[in-house]
Structure 1
Amino acid sequence: MEQKLAEYRARKAREAKISEVRESTKKFFSGLWKSRERANPVEEALLPPEDAPEEASSVCSDDDTVNCCSYVDLFYYLLWFVLWVIVYVVFIEFQFGTVFLVVSGLIFMYVNTRTGPRRSGEVSAYSVFNKNCESIDGTLKAEQFEREIRYGPAVVK
């Protein structure tokens, strides 16, 4: 009876460990894809407060440490970079290194720009695409520039 109980406990511990590994793997990969789907943090900061997610509603925090990504993310990017370098060396051997560099640069630019539609309530950096041509905060408009030239920077709101 003791042996069966020990086998049962070992099997349950093994199943718990396997489910823990599965959950952590799911969490890792779902977080990986979610981080790819998220908008640029600057764009998230430009969202109106009522449409902004809770974590993006405050651009500045009291915490002085900046944690942009975890070690797993850094390792992931390092692996992609190493793969890119290996393929680049192969293309250099075939004397297509420059072509690979230009094409990979274009692909890098495309992948790192958001090509999907804007979320509802999100303002565009280009004022002509916003409702009533409203510009975002920090935009230097011709009217503001003219007021600063004529009356000095102290009169600008």
Structure 2
Amino acid sequence: MEAKLKEYRALRRRKELIENAKAKLEKSKKKIVDFFVPNFFTEMDKEKKEDELVLIENEEVPTTSRPLIQPEENGDVTSEASELESFEEAAQESWRYFIIKWTIYFIIWLTLYILFLKLQFGAVYFVISVLVGIYLNTRTRPKKKGEVSAYSVFNENCVSIDGTLKAEQFEREILYGAGSIR
């Protein structure tokens, strides 16, 4: 009995340590985010949430006798709501992550640029960094199966994507007016 109690206390202590570590990690993560994310972004989030609350409070209750949840649906409404909330939190986290990541990249780039300016190679560094940026922002992987290209000559049967101005369409518009198109 004493061994089980000792094991239980050790397990409980381990869980508390893990929870404390998670809380400290979350707190430090929040501090870092608050440091890098400008205040107006967080204020925008607060204003947006307040506006949503005001809209929800002003929303009228439907007067129809139809139930809000259909009886044939077995989905749990609370789980759907929690999934929606977790999705919104993930979207907000990804936005913050995006801002932090690119802020750090910019700070590193700016630091190196200043260093190269001191070495009188600032123009070379700038040109090379622009070329690297262009290369990294173009797709170098092959096209996915079934994916169409913006250039119709690369597509099967030279099929063009929607919104492309073709010579035939332009000719019809000139000859018969803009109303002649579909």
TM bracket, shorter-chain basis: 0.5 to 0.7
Match of 2:9 in 1: 6
Residue 140 (1) aligns with residue 165 (2): yes
Distance in structure 2 (CA, Å) of the matches to 1:17 and 1:120: 48
Residue 87 (1) aligns with residue 90 (2): no
Give the secondary-structure state (helix, strand or coil) at the position aligned to 2:140: coil
Deviation, 1:154, is 1.1
Which among 115, 123, 143 is matched to residue 118 of structure 1?
143
Distance 1:5 1:122, change over 3 A: same
Distance 1:114 1:18, change over 3 A: farther
Distance in structure 1 (CA, Å) of the matches to 2:130 and 2:145: 31
Query: Quick check: which has more Rg, 1 or 2?
Result: 2
Q: Which runs of 5+ in 1 are unaligned?
A: 22-65
Match of 2:174 in 1: 149
The letter for the 1-side match of 2:164 is T
**CA RMSD, Structure 1 to Structure 2 (Å):** 2.7
Distance 1:149 1:105, change over 3 A: same
Deviation, 1:17, is 6.7
Deviation, 1:110, is 0.6
TM-score (norm 2): 0.55
Q: Which has the higher helix share?
A: 2
The number of aligned residues is 112
